[in-house]
Homo-oligomer: A and B are copies of this chain.
Amino acid sequence: MAKYARSPLAPEAFPELPVIKGARFASHAAGVKYQGRTDVMMVALDAGSSIAGVFTKSSTRSAPVLDCQDKIGGAPEEGAVILVNAGNSNAFTGKAGVESVRAITTSVSEIMETPIPRVFTSSTGVIGEPMKHERIIAALDTLKGKLDENGIEDAAHAIMTTDTYPKGACATFEVDGKTVNIAGIAKGSGMIAPDMATMLVYIFTDAKIEQADLQSLVSAFTDSTFNCITVDSDTSTSDTLLMAATGASGATVSHDTKAFRDALHDVMLDLSHQVVRDGEGAQKFVTINVTGARNNAQAKVHAMAIANSPLVKTAIAGEDPNWGRVVMAIGKSGAEADRDLLTIRFGDILVAEKGWVSPDYKEEQGAAVMKEQEITINVDLGLADGSSTVWTCDLTHTYIEINADYRS
């Protein structure tokens, strides 16, 4: 972790997150795998908290994901506990993996006096290695003693793996004259091409909201935030987003409360961008806008084909305005395109139109855009009104370094 420098795309500092009444956080160095750093975090949620979640669609999802998924939608009367470890994903660990989840959730239930159906766990790290769950269980008493409503920033550190910075985002706004807060944390940063959710993301609010409303908002916004980012096209077996609403603000919101919807979407978008900005080896943050597609779904297919193309991503790493590779990616995507109706812009620079390079385009213009740290590629297909925006990063030597040597 300390091996790689903080991403050049990182925000200047971790944001000042508001306290979410009804949620307390603790983290600890349990030594699951890493030494000399925190690697377990616990969140205790007061009775009355609604919990929503979205999870990876991988057909080889991990034991904690399967367990967590089953528990979404339960009764909020009892409060809840979220327990997360870094260092071992407990994925593809067979019956032993299921046993680890059972052991951890049973111990948490006893120590925290919370029924097992309200104990949610996540694990992130290496796939396929036996989980040293006894080390986590040994830390539970300490974690309970450390619980603190100000502990969320430390929790963001405890869930990191190859992340180079902790990720947080928040919003504070009024509903019916009452102040409502949202605070979230996330970790990335490789194996990022979420399919339904992403990596590990935990969002908290003190609003009061029915579980079904919370779930529908979180699911909908995941589609335009976490499901629109990609680092390397590889989808994790552990992707999990959990959101808890404690209700402690006294403000009641619903699926239709605009201030809450807007704030939640902003927090999710912010966290999803932070995951891309910490993509393994990332030097450039890239926004890809596709418009004029037959429909939104086809626009996203094109946008993701561009975002996942190794040739596009290496061109960006090399600051090469190689729009021919953008054309290639559109061509291979499988979604509808007419070569001669394409318009491509790098930032504001018109690069290609009507099936060829624009007559006014000069290579220096494209090259200047590519030198920026934040690059926007705009593609109009000229077919209809479908559109999509996705976010990615470049593909650099550091990605190869990190991933050719992750386990050693």
Contact = CB atoms under 8 A, between A and B. Distances in A.
B235 A314 contact: no
Interface residues of A, number: 68
A324 B335 CA distance: 31
A399 B310 contact: yes
A220 interface: no
Given A356-B95, A400-B397, A234 B332 contact: yes
Task: Output the residue of A127, A129, A193, A329 with the most chain B CB within 10 A.
Answer: A127
Contact of A237 (B128, B190, B328, B354): B328
A382 to B, nearest CB: 13
The secondary structure that dominates the A interface is: loop
B320 A406 contact: yes
Interface in A182-238: 190-191, 193, 195, 232-237
A403 B59 contact: no
A91 B399 contact: no
A59 B400 contact: no
A95 to B, nearest CB: 7
Given A128-B357, A332-B234, A403 B311 contact: yes
A400 B404 contact: no
A68 interface: no
B400 A314 contact: yes
A407 interface: yes
B91 A322 contact: no
Interface string A303-337: 00000111100110110101111011111110011
Contacts of A146: none
B58 A234 contact: no
Given A95-B356, A318-B403, A338-B59, A191 B128 contact: no
A384 B326 CA distance: 39
A371 B329 CA distance: 33
A92 B396 CA distance: 27
Given A234-B332, A407-B320, A127 B327 contact: yes
Nearest to A351: B128
B356 A310 contact: no
A356 B92 contact: yes
Given A191-B311, A236-B328, A320-B404, A336 B97 contact: no
A63 B341 CA distance: 15
A265 interface: no
Interface in A357-408: 357, 395-397, 399-400, 403-408
B234 A356 contact: no
Given A191-B311, A193-B332, A395 B400 contact: yes
A17 to B, nearest CB: 31
Contacts of A396: 400, 404
Interface in A49-81: 56, 58-61
A56 B334 CA distance: 12
A-B residue pairs, 8 tightest by C-beta: A127-B324, A318-B404, A94-B356, A60-B331, A58-B331, A235-B332, A314-B403, A94-B355
Interface of A: 56, 58-61, 91-97, 126-129, 190-191, 193, 195, 232-237, 308-311, 314-315, 317-318, 320, 322-325, 327-333, 336-340, 342, 352, 354-357, 395-397, 399-400, 403-408
Given A128-B323, A315-B404, 7 more contacts: A60-B342, A92-B352, A93-B356, A237-B327, A237-B331, A317-B400, A322-B406
